[in-house]
Amino acid sequence: MPDETPPACFTTAGVARGMMLAWPLLLSTGAGGLAMGAACRQAGMSLPLATLFSAGVYSGTAQALALQLWSAVPPLLAILLAAGAVNLRYLVMGARLATLFPGLPWRSMLPSLAIYGDATWLIAAGEAERGRPDAGILFGASAVTVVGWVGGTVIGHGAAFSLAGPWAMAAAFIPLGFIVAYIPDQWRGRATGLPWAASAGVALLSLPFVAAHWAMLAGGAAGTAIAVLRDDG
C-alpha cells in the first residue's frame, strides 16, 4: 500500500493553524515573561537589555540560570556553558523534526528552529504524525509563544510587576498542563508506547546520578533513537 502522507511543506495556512492551536500558550508564556521581566529588573538589567535577553535567549530555564550567575561583571563563559547544558535537549528534538519534515529545505526550517519550544514542538510533531507535515505549524505556534514571552518580559520589567505566591505556582504549571492535555493526541498504541517507555525509564534511572536536565536529555535521546530506528525500519 503506497504511503499516503503528503510531502513536507511550509505554508501560510500552516502558520495560521499553528497560531490557532497555540493561542492558549500566549497566556502561559506571557505569565512567565512577567516573572522574567521582574527578575531582570531586580538583577539590575535595563529594559532594553531585558527585552534583548528574552528575545535572544528565549529559554526560561537558561535565562533563570543566567540570572543566578548575573553580576556587575557577568561570567559569560560560565553562563554560556550552563545555558548550553540545559538546552541540549533541543538537539534531540531537532533530530526528530528532521524525520518529521524530510526533504524540506533548511531555509524553511531555520526560522522555526530559532524559536520553537517544548510545547510548540509537541504541537507540530502531533500534526505531522497525523498526516499534516507542515513546518508552518511549528513556526506559527512558536511565534505566539515568542510574543507572549517577550511581551510579558517588557510588561513585567516596565510595570515593576511581581509574580509571587500562588500566582507564580499557577504560571509555572500552565505549560505543563498544556503538554499533559496534548499527550492523548500523540498516542499511537505500541508505535508510541515503546519510545515513551524508553524515555521515561532512562530519565528516571539517570536521576540518581546526574542533574535533572541531563536525565531529561538522556531520556529524550533514548526515546528519539528508538522512534527513528522504528521509522527507518
More confident residue, 225 or 36: 36
Average pLDDT, the chain: 79
Scored b (16 or more CB within 10 A) or e, 192-212 reads beebbebbeebbeebeeeeee
The whole-number pLDDT of residue 206 equals 84
Distance CA 127, CA 154 (A): 32
- Domain regions of the chain by residue span: 12-186, 189-233
Average the pLDDT over each of 34-38, 44-48, 79-83, 163-167 and give the range with the smallest value: 163-167
Distance CA 230, CA 215 (A): 23
Per-residue pLDDT tens over the stretch 64-85:
878 877 765 667 777 777 677 6
Distance CA 3, CA 1 (A): 7
The answer to whether residues 67 and 44 touch, using CB atoms and an 8 Å cutoff, is no
More confident residue, 222 or 37: 37
CB atoms within 10 A of CB 5: 12
